[in-house]
Amino acid sequence: MMGYGFDGSGVGWIWMLGGLLVMVGFVVLIVWAIGAANRGTTREPERPTALDILRERYARGEITQQDFEQAKKTLGY
């Protein structure tokens, strides 16, 4: 009796493996796309410069104008 649909050559597992690789490829592509989309959205807040800190200290009255000018010269501003 002839068997229809199965010839016994064992090639079916190659098709299953190929389909599995395609599905895994789609999942990897989706994860990469989501990661790439989110990569540009998270930024660290900018750190204040030395001159910004110096201006804040002067504005709060922690240092005098002479101290402010001297520190500004020392910092190279």
Q: What is the pLDDT of residues 18-43, one digit of tens each?
A: 999 999 999 999 999 998 888 876 67
- The DSSP code for 2 is P
Q: Are 71 and 63 in contact (CB under 8 A)?
A: yes
CA–CA separation, 48 vs 29, rounded Å? 39
Model pLDDT, residue 51: 94
Alpha carbons within 13 A on the beta-carbon side of 57: 17
Hey, what are 51's tokens? 């001159």
pLDDT in tens, 42-76: 677 789 999 999 999 999 999 999 999 999 999 99
CA–CA separation, 11 vs 5, rounded Å? 12
Pick the more confident residue, 12 or 26: 26
Model pLDDT, residue 42: 64
Model pLDDT, residue 23: 97
